[in-house]
A and B are shown apart, each in its own frame.
Chain A
């Protein structure tokens, strides 16, 4: 697994999250404190300080980096209203196979993530922080555990940090699935008709944040919202971590300013051929055709194309690879990764995957597109989580971006492009 990182070629954007790593290639506490300064928590961390932290986050305009881009300050305010939060959950589950940022964060700058978690824990009077690392990522877990051991108690009441290892399935990182597992139940999403009711573990409310979001909080608390907003756009300030893979020379995790055009972002990894399409967001994301690559990498511009930043995944497909075959593979994988709880997803995704396999294999007919269109409508929005919605979005975009190829495949004339090894398989 790659943890390669590079300084972006755009020299006006200095790396922020990965700054201490780029400068020293060390992740220990001393390096971290020398680079960023001590964690700004006053000795009497009371109500006033808690409110001011929330205000800093709000002014900075930070949105969640887990895929939903939900305003972080709103989540913070909701937690403050819900009595005393007992648990902060660091979501480093990295369910997206094509994403590596959680591992990079916890191996290169773990103390930034832990700082963010500690700030929230103190502000919300939480007694424990649970760092969730998938059971297969041992090296990442070790790095997190080592960093936790390094942190001193100080004068404040200790906050208990623990590394826990949920199963590494695609949906284990979904918020409610994660809290279910932490509560001793299977890691399966829950039906949440009212999202304003906070998640809980046992009786205590739990605040779940993506590891990258927490790292940003740690920086905002030190350098302020003004500094944070020096990068990015007005609606989407700051930087974000993207994982570039596919037909590129230098796959890996990069830090870019939000709002940078997608074409500039993928240029960092040096695509090896002519770029045909880019899978944006994740396996449940959207294919962008080569005509859409100047779109800024930010929630609003991407939303106009039915896409989103998602987990910061960008998989580059060049002229030599077959988009239909790759999509069929992703669809089959996603169908196998459902929770098996909701009928439309449990039966609908395999049906969609089968149809895509027919198209990819050149064995379909024109009726298969009608069937797919019908099933997209049947499956979308009818699960407890967004998993089926993502697959529908990805598959729909594939049929648009690779329309010519789809038709040719379906009529029994598959393209001569290479179909193996798979472009999208990253981990």
Chain B
């Protein structure tokens, strides 16, 4: 994993959310981002709406890319 971002002005801030229709409770997002994602009693992800901390952005983008149903979405927060 790469180190911390050096250039603060180029830091992308992102938010993550789950498309509940597409989600099929694979749970990859919870494996990759246990700090942000918890699973409810039926295996579906619970995510907050706060911006993703800088050190987790790369993982969040990866989780969005790897979700088998493309249900984990990351979007940039417009400043």
A343 & B44 in contact (Cβ 8 Å cutoff): yes
**Chain B residue, CB-CB nearest to A342:** B20
B22 in contact with A378 (CB, 8 Å):
no
Decide if B51 is an interface residue (CB 8 Å cutoff): no
A2 at the interface (CB under 8 A from B): no
The answer on a CB contact under 8 Å between A343 and B43 is yes
Contact B21 A347 (CB under 8 A): no
- Whether A191 contacts B41 in the complex (CB less than 8 A), given A378-B46, A382-B46, comes out as no
Q: Chain B nearest CB: distance from A127 CB in Å?
A: 30
Say whether B62 faces chain A, with CB atoms less than 8 Å apart. Answer: no
Contact assessment for A191 and B40 in the assembled complex, using a CB-CB cutoff below 8 Å: no
Chain A, Cβ-Cβ closest to B40: A378
Kindly state whether residue B66 has any CB partner on chain A within 8 Å.
no
Does A198 sit at the interface, judged by CB under 8 A?
A: no
Q: Tell me the minimal C-beta distance from B41 to chain A in angstroms.
A: 7
List the B residue with the shortest CB-CB distance to A379. B40
Chain A residues whose C-beta falls within 8 Å of the C-beta of B19 in the assembled complex: 191, 193, 384
Is B17 within 8 A of A343, CB to CB?
no
Are A378 and B41 in contact (CB-based, < 8 A)?
yes
Partner of A191 from the list B21, B24, B44, B46 (CB cut-off 8 Å) is B21
Whether the pair B42, A344 counts as a contact (CB closer than 8 A) is: yes
How many angstroms between the C-alpha atoms of A98 and B10 in the bound complex? 55
Q: Write the nearest CB–CB distance from A7 to chain B, whole angstroms.
A: 46
In the complex, which residue of chain A has the Cβ closest to the Cβ of B44? A343
**A193–B21 Cα gap in the complex (Å)?**
12
Known contacts A193-B17, A378-B40, A378-B41; is A343 also within 8 Å of B46 by CB? no
B20 and A384 within 8 A (CB): yes
A347 & B42 in contact (Cβ 8 Å cutoff)? yes
Identify A341's interface contact among B17, B20, B40, B42, CB under 8 A.
B20
| Total contacts A-B at CB 8 Å | 43
Provide the residues of chain A in CB contact with B61, threshold 8 Å.
none
What A residues does B21 contact at CB under 8 A? 188-191, 341-342, 384
**Nearest Cβ on chain B to A391's Cβ, whole angstroms:** 15
Which chain A residues lie closer than 8 Å to B42 at the CB level? 343-344, 347-348
Q: Is residue B67 within 8 Å, beta carbon to beta carbon, of the partner chain? A: no
Q: Which residue of B lies closest to A194 (CB)?
A: B75
Least distance between B30 CB and chain A CB atoms (Å): 13
A345 to B20 CA separation, bound complex (whole angstroms): 10
Bound-state CA distance A384–B17 (Å) is 12
For residue A361, CB closer than 8 A to chain B, the reply is no
| A8 CB-CB contact with B under 8 Å | no
Using Cβ atoms and an 8 Å threshold, which residues of chain B touch A348?
A: 40, 42
Residue of B nearest to A343 (CB): B44
Q: Give, as a whole number of angstroms, the nearest-CB distance from B53 to chain A.
A: 22
| Chain B nearest CB, measured from A307 CB (Å) | 25
Query: Taking CB as reference atom, which chain B residue is nearest A382?
Result: B20
B44 to A382, Cβ gap below 8 A?
yes
Question: Which residue of chain B is the closest to A375 with respect to CB atoms?
Answer: B41
Closest to A188 in B: B21
A378 proximity list for chain B (CB < 8 A): 40-41, 46
Residue in contact with A344 in the complex, picked from B17, B22, B40, B73, CB distance below 8 Å: B40
CA–CA, A378 and B20, complex, Å: 13
A234 to B19, CA, bound (A): 38
12 interchain pairs (CB within 8 A)? A193-B17, A341-B21, A342-B44, A343-B20, A343-B25, A343-B42, A343-B43, A347-B42, A348-B42, A378-B46, A382-B20, A383-B20
